[in-house]
Chain A
């Protein structure tokens, strides 16, 4: 008959400490996962420009139902017993949440406009029908889309009456897409007059800084400020 191995006198206390530590780490992890006060630690990265004061729940809305209902709905969807998938935990963040603060009476590039069939290329290349395609959240900047994205839709730009000293079609022919935002405010939400001389355009470096979260060359006077006074 074999004999059970003998534990040394220090092995048992060590095991106890390991158990206690394990339980403490698991409890801390669980607390971090469920306590609303610790929700910020779940963020994928820093809030975008102007969003630092927002609560997570301003954008991340709880999905309807209990966790069990949500799981059941998902399984039913996977096995073909339900037509639509269900969200688990939180709803997917979409344009609706952005519009809560950023809806305007007037917008020169409203996202809904890109749902028109002819903007298929803009949808395929840029995802232009969705706010977060240009403003990916938790990146710590203002705009995540390159400043040259205008090229996707405006390749055949040719104005009958030219307001600019260098015709737009020449700028297009020279592929100078980095100059667009030097005069044009994409959403048209700044109170300002569009330049008529290319020399007066904001330099590409100023535009790049602005997109990265820096100061606005378009000024701070907004046509439709958000409820917190931002853009």
Chain B
């Protein structure tokens, strides 16, 4: 006849059985796949380097800036429309200057929930708070030296970053910056590199769908910036004509649809072409 287990061993076996049961239940609760696991958010489909998306965005920005600067600010100035750095003030009957149009668009992008950052800066800005320092100053020196964009990772915020050169594209850029009382540099010339746009995004690769959402967010920012101008223009004592006509045709301002249609006509072919070639390697240089 076998001797019964001593009480201590029986206790240990009992405790082990209880803990084993608890662990088994916990494992089933935590690892069994019903209900289905939450989406990870990390897509398994093919992805595009964010650098390529930045190049698309910079090209879109160049297009809208050229349109705004030449067709609205330049031609508008000749037609009697005013543009001023304090355009938001109630007593200033003016629209935003090109740099401020970009800032309006950048602010509007923040409301889209697409985490795209867009900033404009310089080594000789009118507003001291726009002067490049640190990492951006270093990269901007290279942009200035090579004329090519720079791509880097701002590690403290985990954001992929790009800097693209920003040139004086119309005489208005030069005269305004040279004549401004706070300007630290007064000998700008046409086609000078006046600064850079900085773009940032929290991922190094995105799906093609996400890339299109980013482009759409930027475009909605342009449209919102233009809407801001239209809202202000409606308050002018001498109201311009709003419709199909552009300032070069008189004291007129195109509607948002007309403005965006012209922007899309100029920008879309290039953007679609770049998206179609997004998976090509190596990265196109322009």
Contacts and interface: CB of A to CB of B under 8 A. Distances in A.
Interface of A: 64-66, 68-73, 75-76, 82-84, 86, 96, 99, 103, 105-107, 110, 112-113, 115-118, 120, 123-124, 129, 153, 156-161, 191
B135 A117 contact: yes
Contacts of A118: 121, 132-137
Given A68-B35, A96-B113, A99-B111, A117 B198 contact: yes
Contact of A66 (B30, B35, B121, B128): B35
Nearest to B198: A116
Contacts of A82: 37, 40
A72 B30 contact: yes
Interface of B: 29-31, 35-38, 40-42, 88, 90, 104, 106-107, 110-111, 113, 117, 119, 121, 128-129, 132-137, 154, 156-157, 159, 161, 181-184, 198, 200, 228
B110 A159 contact: no
A123 B31 contact: no
A67 B133 CA distance: 46
Given A117-B134, A117-B198, A123 B182 contact: no
A120 B134 contact: yes
Contacts of B134: 117-118, 120
A116 B111 CA distance: 17
A24 B64 CA distance: 67
The 10 closest A-B pairs by CB, nearest first: A117-B154, A83-B42, A161-B181, A73-B38, A118-B136, A118-B133, A116-B119, A112-B110, A65-B38, A75-B30
A159 B40 contact: no
Given A115-B157, A115-B159, 7 more contacts: A73-B37, A83-B40, A106-B88, A110-B110, A156-B128, A160-B182, A161-B182
A99 B128 CA distance: 27
A161 B113 CA distance: 39
A103 B128 CA distance: 25
A118 B130 CA distance: 10
22 contacts: A64-B38, A72-B31, A83-B42, A84-B41, A86-B38, A96-B113, A105-B88, A105-B107, A106-B107, A110-B110, A113-B119, A115-B157, A116-B119, A116-B121, A116-B198, A117-B135, A120-B134, A120-B156, A123-B156, A156-B128, A157-B128, A191-B90
Contacts of A71: 29-30
A153 B130 CA distance: 12
A115 to B, nearest CB: 5
A123 B157 contact: yes
- Residue in A72, A82, A83, A103 whose Cβ sees the most chain B Cβ within 10 Å: A72
Given A75-B30, A118-B135, A120-B134, A69 B38 contact: yes
A99 B113 CA distance: 11
A117 B110 CA distance: 17
Nearest to B32: A72
Contact of B136 (A64, A70, A116, A157): A116
Nearest to A110: B107
Contacts of A84: 40-42
Contacts of A72: 30-31, 37-38
A120 B135 contact: yes
Nearest to A223: B88
A105 B228 contact: yes
Nearest to B35: A69
Contacts of A99: 110-111
Contacts of B133: 118
- Residue in A66, A82, A123 whose Cβ sees the most chain B Cβ within 10 Å: A82
Nearest to A191: B90
A54 B36 CA distance: 34
Nearest to A104: B107
Contacts of B117: 112, 115-116
B146 to A, nearest CB: 19
B286 to A, nearest CB: 24
A24 B137 CA distance: 65
A72 B39 CA distance: 11
Contacts of B137: 118
B181 A160 contact: yes
A112 B122 CA distance: 18
Contacts of A116: 117, 119, 121, 136, 198, 200
A1 B140 CA distance: 92
